[in-house]
């Protein structure tokens, strides 16, 4: 614990915490100032006061922008959460979807954007024409922090369990299938284990920063049955798979609902995997702090009405 923390606490100006949070997020003084409606000199003055208060530079200028010091990294989450709590105290006590102009931010991958987002947009058009939605794809740490501060309202998908303080509900129970193009030279009416092992495969990389829990499950299953040399292509997004499958003889292992949705657009064939694979649950996640928040609660209520392809 730094020796100057108590003194800092006695002298702190809440406005300076808002400036710190904005600069930490933007990593750019001008962009942070624009977000807050403050001029460059005002931002520079506020940052100078902060640096004097904590006896730390907080941010240093590098070629890729302002980068936080270790001390700034250490206090960032607490500052963001504190500001979120304060802002939450002044939010509207009710929510009228018919008149609201609120923009919700929902974390989902390309699978969710294909299977869930069109149906959510239809619900908004019918019942909340002024409400907007923005999808984002942060990494897990950023997602956890953003849900806690309210910067992201909900997260949907197969996501590793969060820490205490988060709630969830199941929105989809489904399984995995294998997918090939119609007219595949060797995989026609059935997919045997030998055919699976002999085939070459395309995988969505489990190393992608926005990858869902699917990627890791699928890669583990495929690599257990097919050699490393049989993995011909790795890519970062599921929505690239139809074009890849249609132009090659590769096999893709994907969530069943996604494969069924692909069949609406391209001629692909779907087979159950020739080995046991666990089913999965896609869930909706939100932070405990927003469990009773009217807008968040309303948005969560849309998801049980959505039935992705099965």
Question: Could you give the residue ranges of the DSSP H alpha helices within the chain?
Answer: 5-11, 14-26, 29-36, 40-54, 70-89, 110-115, 117-127, 140-149, 193-198, 213-225, 241-246, 256-263, 294-302
Ordered by start, the domain boundaries in the chain are 5-89, 103-173+281-305, 176-278
| DSSP summary character for residue 167 | E
Distance separating alpha carbons of residues 291 and 42, to the nearest angstrom: 37
Task: Select from 174, 164, 62, 68 the least CA-distant residue to 112.
Answer: 174
pLDDT (mean) for 259-270 = 93
The CATH superfamily holding the domain 103-173+281-305 is Periplasmic binding protein-like II (3.40.190.10)
Distance separating alpha carbons of residues 254 and 225, to the nearest angstrom: 16
* Structure confidence by residue, pLDDT tens digits, 159-197: 866 767 889 998 888 899 999 999 999 999 999 999 999
pLDDT (mean) for 126-155 = 91
pLDDT(133) > 80: yes
Run of H or E residues at 101: none
Distance separating alpha carbons of residues 241 and 46, to the nearest angstrom: 49
Q: Do domains 103-173+281-305 and 176-278 have the same CATH topology?
A: yes
The CATH superfamily holding the domain 176-278 is Periplasmic binding protein-like II (3.40.190.10)
pLDDT (mean) for 72-97 = 80
pLDDT(92) > 80: no
pLDDT(15) > 70: yes
Percent of the chain with pLDDT over 70: 89
Residue 190 vs residues 179, 201, 213, 279, 294: alpha-carbon distances, Å? 11, 17, 27, 21, 50
- The CATH topology of domain 5-89 is Arc Repressor Mutant, subunit A (1.10.10)
SS3 content of the chain, % helix, strand, coil (to 5): 45, 20, 35
Token pair of 225 as six digits: 């049955």
* Structure confidence by residue, pLDDT tens digits, 209-263: 444 677 777 888 888 888 888 999 998 888 899 999 999 999 999 999 899 999 9
């Amino acid at each position: 614990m730094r020796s100057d923390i108590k003194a800092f606490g006695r002298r702190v100006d809440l406005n300076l915490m808002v400036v710190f949070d904005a600069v930490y997020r933007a990593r750019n003084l001008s962009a942070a100032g624009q977000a807050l409606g403050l001029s460059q000199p005002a931002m520079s003055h506020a940052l100078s006061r902060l640096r004097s208060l904590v006896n730390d530079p907080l941010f240093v200028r590098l070629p890729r922008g302002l980068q936080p010091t270790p001390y700034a990294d250490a206090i960032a989450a607490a500052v963001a959460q504190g500001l979120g709590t304060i802002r939450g105290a002044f939010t509207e006590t009710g929510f009228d979807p018919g008149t609201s102009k609120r923009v919700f931010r929902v974390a989902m991958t390309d699978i969710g954007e294909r299977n869930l987002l069109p149906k959510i947009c239809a619900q908004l058009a019918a019942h909340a024409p002024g409400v907007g939605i923005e999808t984002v794809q942060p990494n897990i740490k950023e997602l956890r922090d953003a849900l806690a501060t309210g910067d992201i309202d909900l997260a949907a998908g197969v996501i590793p369990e969060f820490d205490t303080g988060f709630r969830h509900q199941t929105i989809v129970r489904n399984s995995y299938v294998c997918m090939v193009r119609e007219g595949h030279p060797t995989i026609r009416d059935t997919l045997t284990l030998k055919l699976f092992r002999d085939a070459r495969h395309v995988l969505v990389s489990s190393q992608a920063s926005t990858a869902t829990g699917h990627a890791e499950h699928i890669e583990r299953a495929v690599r257990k049955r097919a050699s490393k040399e049989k993995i011909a292509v790795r890519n970062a997004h599921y929505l690239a798979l139809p074009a890849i499958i249609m132009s090659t003889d590769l096999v893709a292992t994907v969530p069943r609902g996604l494969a069924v949705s692909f069949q609406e657009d391209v001629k692909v064939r779907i087979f159950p995997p020739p080995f046991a694979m666990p089913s999965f649950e896609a869930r909706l996640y939100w932070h405990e702090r927003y469990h009773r928040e009217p807008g968040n609660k309303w948005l969560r209520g849309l998801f049980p009405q959505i039935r992705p392809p099965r």
